[in-house]
Amino acid sequence: MIPARNEGATVGEIVRGVQSSVDCSVLVVDDASDDPTADTAREAGAIVLKLSNRLGAWGATQAGMRYAQRHGYRTVLTLDADGQHHPMQLPGLLEFHRQSGTDVTIGTCSERLSNAKRLAAGYFRSITGIAVQDFTSGLRVYGRRAIRALASREASLLDYQDLGVLMLLRKKGLILKETPTQMSPRRSGGSRVFSSWRMVARYMMHTTVLCFAQVGTRARIGRGPRRTEPAA
Amino acid sequence: MTAAITAALIGVLLAGAILYLVRRDHLHGSFAIWWLTVAAAILVLGIFPPVIDWLGSITGIYYPPILPITIGIGMILIRLLKMDVDRSRSERQIRRLTQKLAILEQELRDAKDTHAMPAAVEPITPTAPIQRTAGGR
C-alpha cells in the first residue's frame, strides 16, 4: 500500500517495481492530489483509493488499512511513493516479518537518519519507552491484528503516522520490531514533517502532549485480563 | 431601577432571538436549551439584583457583583471546551466518511468494470437478463 500526495512523477514506477518484486495487490491511496497521481497509478495497474479531501499521510494510510480489513488481507506492507524505498527490499522485509512473528515490522535505515531525528528518537524513547530508531519510517509491514487496531475509530484522530500509531499498537499489546534496510534520498519533495523549524516545533509539541496523555494506559492494559501474550 | 430594566431587556431580547433562531431552524435543539437557560439567568439576576447579594453571602464572596462575571466566564470556558470536544468528534467522523467514500468509489468502479467487460464481448439481449456474479468483491 502506497499513500501518495502529488507524487505523479514517481508513483507509476514504484507501482510497477512493487508488482515485479512481490506477488501482491498494490493499493495506492491518493490524498487529494492536484496532479494526476491517481490516474498514473491506475494505469500502472494499482487499485486506487482517491480521497476527496486532504487527510494527511496517516489519514491516507488508514484509508488503506480499512480497505485491507474490508477485503480480508492478512498483511499490509506500506512504502512511500517518493522513491526512497526500493521495491527490491520488500521480499526480504516480508520474510523477516513472517519469520519473526511480530505484528509490525519497521524497515529502518540508520545511515539516513539525521542528527535531529536521532535526538528526537532519544527524547521520545525517554518519555514513552518505545525503543524504535527510525519512528518516522514509512516502510512498514503490518499483520492482521495491527490492521484491525489501525482501522479502528480510535486511530482516526491521529495526525502523524509515527509515534501515536506505535503507542496505539503497543497499548493493544502488539509486538514491534525493526530491521535494517537500504534507502535512497528522496527524489521529489522533502520530508513532510521535518521541512521547517515551525513544523518541527509543532510536531514535537503535538507528539509530546500525545505521549503524556498516554501515560498509564499501558500499565492498565498490562494488568487487565485481555493480555495478548501468553503468560509464562 | 434602570439597571434592572436594562438587564431585563437584554434577557428578553436574548430569549427572543434564541426562540426566533430555533423557529427558523438555525439552532439545534440542545443548544437552544443552553442559551435559553442563559437568557433566563440574565432575566432573573436583572430583575432581582438582591439575588446576587444573597448568592454572595452564601458563597462568602466579599464583593458580590464580581460573582455573575466569574460564573459567566466559567460557563464560557466550559462551553468552549465542549465545543472543541464536539469538533474533535466531527473531525473523526469527517475523516472516516472521507475514507469510506474513497473505498466505496473504488468498489463501485470495480463492480462497473466487472459487469461492463462481458457486455463488451457479448451484447445483452432483452431475453438474457444480466447475470450477477456471486461473491463479487
Q: Is B59 within 8 Å of chain A by CB?
A: no
Q: Is B37 within 8 Å of chain A by CB?
A: no
Supply the ipTM of this predicted assembly: 0.80
Mean pLDDT along residues A43-61: 91
Whole-number mean pLDDT of chain A?
81
Query: Residue B1: which pLDDT band, with cuts at 50, 70 and 90?
Result: low
Where would I find the beta strands (DSSP E) of A31-129?
Answer: 47-50, 76-78, 104-108
Q: What element of type H or E holds B14?
A: helix B2-23
Q: Is residue B117 scored above 70 in pLDDT?
A: no
B98 and A153: CB-CB below 8 Å?
Answer: no
Q: What is the pLDDT of residues B3-59, one digit of tens each?
A: 778 877 887 888 788 778 878 888 776 777 887 788 788 778 777 878 888 888 888
| Amino acid found at A142 | Y
Mean pLDDT along residues A125-154: 85
Residues of chain B contacting residue A47, judged by C-beta atoms under 8 Å apart: 106, 110
Least trusted range by pLDDT, from A43-57, A89-103, A159-173: A159-173
Question: What residue in A sits closest to B96 (Cα-Cα)?
Answer: A156
pTM above 0.90, yes or no: no
Mean pLDDT along residues A108-119: 75
Q: Is B137 within 8 Å of chain A by CB?
A: yes
Rounded CA separation A121/A225 (Å): 32
* Angstroms from A112 CA to nearest CA on chain B: 32
Rounded CA separation A165/A162 (Å): 5
Q: Please, are residues A149 and A174 in contact by the beta-carbon 8 Å criterion?
A: yes
Q: Is B88 within 8 Å of chain A by CB?
A: yes
pLDDT number for residue B136:
42
pLDDT number for residue A215:
65
Q: Is residue B70 scored above 70 in pLDDT?
A: yes
Q: Please, are residues A143 and A105 in contact by the beta-carbon 8 Å criterion?
A: no
The CA dihedral of A118, A197, A162, A218, to the nearest 10 degrees, is 80
Per DSSP, A195 falls in state T
Question: What residue in A sits closest to B105 (Cα-Cα)?
Answer: A49
Q: What is the pLDDT of residues A212-226, one digit of tens each?
A: 776 665 544 443 344
* Angstroms from B59 CA to nearest CA on chain A: 35
Query: Residue A191: which pLDDT band, with cuts at 50, 70 and 90?
Result: low
